[in-house]
Amino acid sequence: MVELNLRRVRLNRHLRTAMRECRVHRNQLIQPVFAVDGIDGRETIAGLDEVYRDTPDSLLAQIEADLAAGIDKFLLFGVPRDKHLTGFDHGFASERIAAIKNRFGTDLWLAVDVCLCSYTTHGHCGVLNEAGDYVVNDATVAELAAAATQYADAGADCVAPSDMMDGRVGAIRAALDARGHERVTVMSYAAKFHSSFYGPFRAAANSAPAADNPLSDRSTYQLDPARPSDALLSAARDDAEGADILMVKPGLPYLDVLADLSAAIPKPWAVYQTSGEQAAIDVLAKHQLIGRDAAQAETWTAFVRAGAQMIISYAARRAQAILKD
Ligand code: PBG
Ligand code: ZN
């Protein structure tokens, strides 16, 4: 004999929506944008639908369209034309920040990624020693703090260090406060893993470590995927150094980390659905193997269920189609 028990409440669609324990709202989403110096027109990014390498003009037009679509939070990546070993110029990114804030003011919230991998000749996230086999911690932190204060001077609402050096959150917080930027928030990439899911981003940001480096990858500063305790240490340290918002990155492969850390540290949590994760969804949809919007919504629900309040997603600008109810 068949007896309904758990299925009884699943039968009615009104009840199904009413029983949900977590919901995703458009206002939780943060849209990454790329501003690229020295290109003639906006460029597409291999693997990512409806995400572009923007010129200064196309970036403003894109943000205007995103605001009209109900997306009001952005994470800006500045990609300079000229690369250096040290002595970096953050003018291009700073000008973009000023232009965005002049045009849109408090209609939007602008976070700016703070890192050096788009700025260095070798593609590492910091300054290398002479042998080229070590990212020098403190010299890198000094450069990052200088970049963060410039971005704050230009009007950034938030700075987001993604480099994974030790002590950068404290150094950035101190540098911001010393310049009167005590209202600028720091969103730390607290648990950023050494992941294979960053591929499309590195092409977009022109930031892949050069193949001829003695240091061929980012494993000496990003976290090992098999060491969740390092994620807890890193997040607790960034919390103690004054990070306002903490982040786990990538998203889906690290839901366990997100759940554990967000339960352990009662600060706002963000999750970064990385370029490789996005491309996986988009390519499956392109081959009609999944429904693009439903799959996207499912991943966002998983992030909220695991404890994220904020989601950095390349598909944020499509939220109205994705989040139908
Ligand atoms: C590096 C950085 C990375 C991303 C943003 N900033 C990762 C990396 O290159 O190691 C990844 C973003 C994505 O894949 O969407 N500072
Ligand atoms: Zn970097």
Protein residues whose CB sits closer than 6 Å to any atom of ligand 1: 113, 115, 117, 125, 162-163, 198, 201-202, 207, 218, 274-276
- pLDDT for position 1: 76
CATH of residue 281's domain is 3.20.20.70
**CB atoms near residue 87 (< 10 Å):** 8
Please give the Cα distance from 40 to 42 (Å, whole number). 7
Please list the active-site residues.
192, 249
| Residue 184 falls in which region: left (phi positive, over 0), alpha (psi -120 to 50) or beta | beta
Nearest ligand by distance to the CA of 249: 1
Domains: count for the chain: 1
Residue 70 alpha carbon to ligand 1 centre in Å:
25
**Residue 2 in domain:** no
Please give the Cα distance from 50 to 29 (Å, whole number). 16
What are the tens digits of pLDDT across the range 248-280?
999 999 999 999 999 999 999 999 999 999 999
Contact 37, 96 (CB under 8 A): no
Residue-number span of the structural domain to which 179 is assigned: 23-322
Residue 305 alpha carbon to ligand 2 centre in Å:
28
Of all residues in the chain, what percent are helix, strand and coil, respectively (each to 5)? 40, 20, 40
- pLDDT for position 325: 73
**Residue 44 in domain:** yes
**Residue 6 in domain:** no
The residue whose CA has the least distance to atom 1 of ligand 1 is: 162
Q: For the packed helices 255-264 and 292-305, what is the interaxial angle rounded to 10 degrees?
A: 30
Please give the Cα distance from 11 to 14 (Å, whole number). 9
Please give the Cα distance from 23 to 178 (Å, whole number). 40
Nearest to residue 186, comparing CAs of 224, 228, 234, 151? Answer: 151
Could you give the angle at the alpha carbon of 259 between the alpha carbons of 319 and 115, nearest 5°? 65
- pLDDT for position 245: 99
- pLDDT for position 212: 87
Residue 108 alpha carbon to ligand 2 centre in Å:
25
DSSP 161: E
**Residue 13 in domain:** no
The residue whose CA has the least distance to atom 8 of ligand 1 is: 198
Contact 273, 251 (CB under 8 A): yes
User: To test the ligand 1 pocket, which listed residue (52, 117, 164) has its Cβ within 8 A of the most ligand atoms?
Assistant: 117
**Residue 4 in domain:** no
**Residue 38 in domain:** yes
Residues of the chain with confidence (pLDDT) below 50? none
What are the tens digits of pLDDT across the range 48-96?
999 999 999 999 999 999 999 999 999 999 999 999 999 999 999 999 9
Query: What SS3 state is found at 135?
Result: strand
Is this prediction's pTM over 0.95?
yes
